[in-house]
Amino acid sequence: MSKKILILGVNGFIGSALTETILQRTDWQVFGMDMGDDKLKESLGHPRFHFVEGDITINKEWIAYHVKKCDVVLPLVAIATPSLYVTDPLRVFELDFEANLHIVRQCVTYKKRVIFPSTSEVYGMCQDDEFNEETSTLVLGPIHKQRWIYSCSKQLLDRVIFAYGVHEGLDYTLFRPFNWLGPKLDNIFSTKEGSSRVVTQFIADILHRQEIKLVDGGEQRRSFTDIDDGIDALMRIIENPEGKATGQIFNLGNPANDVSIKELAELLVRLVGTYPGYQKVADKVKINAVDSKHHYGVHYQDISRRVPSILRAQTALNWQPKIDLKTALKKTLDYHLANAGEKLDEE
Ligand code: UGA
């Protein structure tokens, strides 16, 4: 049956990729709101894509109307950049928690299915070898380590959504992306030093500054996940065969792509050097260690290793991430380097 999908934050990294896939693979309608549309070139103008420019904290009537009208709601608006957790923690709380709570409540009121982005960050500094949705403990640092306001806001919303599920019958699925990456993660041209997530940051550092900064030496590890694998899982969650995604939390990550940030930096530099005309750029890149206190400030604290257990998504959704790190990085570099030539010459 044709579905009506409401995506708030449709111009984001996940929202824009999801919209493209929905329009390509299904007969569903997408209703989307965002403050910009620069990532939506492939979807704008499509007869089943209904876009409106707006702010979820202001355009509340539009949202209420569309929550009522649609079958599934994906509230994807959030600040998800660690540098902002420490420089603008209140805005993180207001947007990621307060504004989204309002939308979750609308889904309760109108009895609509909500698919909500939790985060790998809820596990914090958990020491488990693999983080498990059911059994892992969520470990956060002290209050003055403001980095955790994002994790804590997301965790509280997870708990609120869960409680609405148990007590008021809210139909929900929570998904936890583990370092998804891809072409439109962040914009490399508006990337100021230290302001972007690591893959885009490093690509910008290689192309613009020829210096990569490894926070506290870069021994910390992440499990990187290609956006296409992530979107594949999200499509299965929306389709929800036999209701298997209902009332569930899913880690969506690729445990096979667990690398240190230092290894990531070295691999990226090597890969950039394989593109025609970029060997010299790659040769010039310096990789230096920096202290997190200087890079992010004293309110930052890091996660040393973050590997998901994906058994639940494998079993319930029959999902398997397929794209290895090198391929994922190449896809991202193909996009940025194809668009970089002109801009680089301008600098
Ligand atoms: C991210 C963000 O919080 C969210 O995007 C998201 O919820 C979640 O994790 C996720 O995608 O799973 P984090 O992995 O710490 O958090 O974000 P990055 O900014 O991509 O940093 C990854 C690692 O690289 C950190 O240890 C950071 O210190 C390091 N880094 C970052 C550097 O060494 N140098 C840099 O220039 C930037």
**For position 147, which CATH number holds?**
3.40.50.720
Provide the token pair at 341: 């030539």
Instruction: Give a yes or no: residue 340 inside a domain.
Output: no
Pocket of ligand 1 contains residue 75 by CB under 6 Å:
no
pLDDT at 187: 81
In total, how many domains does the chain have? Answer: 1
pLDDT at 345: 43
152-188 burial code (b ≥16 CB/10 A, e <16):
bbbbebbebbeebbeeeebbbbbbbbbbbbbbbbbeb
Pocket of ligand 1 contains residue 175 by CB under 6 Å:
no
In this structure, the number of other CB atoms found within 10 A of the CB of residue 102 comes to 15
Amino acid identity of 192? K
CA dist 331 and 342 (Å) reads: 19
Instruction: Give a yes or no: residue 284 inside a domain.
Output: no
> Which helix H or strand E contains 152, and what residues bound it?
helix 148-168
Q: How far is the CA of 208 from the centre of ligand 1 (A)?
A: 20
Instruction: Give a yes or no: residue 344 inside a domain.
Output: no
Answer for the pair 240, 315: CB distance below 8 angstroms, yes or no: no
pLDDT at 343: 44
Q: Look up the pTM and report it.
A: 0.96
| Paired strand residues for 176 | 251
Q: Which atom of ligand 1 is nearest to the CA of 264?
A: 24
Q: How far is the CA of 73 from the centre of ligand 1 (A)?
A: 27
- For a pocket test of ligand 1, which of 198, 209, 220, 268 has the largest count of ligand atoms closer than 8 A to its C-beta? 198
Q: Which atom of ligand 1 is nearest to the CA of 218?
A: 33
Pocket of ligand 1 contains residue 323 by CB under 6 Å:
no
- For a pocket test of ligand 1, which of 84, 121, 147 has the largest count of ligand atoms closer than 8 A to its C-beta? 121
Q: How far is the CA of 167 from the centre of ligand 1 (A)?
A: 35
Q: 10-residue block means of pLDDT along the chain (347 residues)? A: 94 98 98 97 98 96 97 97 96 98 98 98 98 98 98 98 98 98 85 77 93 98 98 98 96 98 98 96 97 97 98 98 98 88 46
Instruction: Give a yes or no: residue 272 inside a domain.
Output: no
Instruction: Give a yes or no: residue 49 inside a domain.
Output: yes
Instruction: Give a yes or no: residue 218 inside a domain.
Output: no
pLDDT at 342: 45
pLDDT at 338: 83
Residue ranges making up the domain that contains 18: 4-184+225-256+303-322
Half-sphere exposure for 45 (CA within 13 Å, toward CB):
2
Instruction: Give a yes or no: residue 233 inside a domain.
Output: yes
Phi, psi dihedral angles at 291 (to 5 degrees): -80, 135
**Radius of gyration, CA atoms only, the chain:** 20
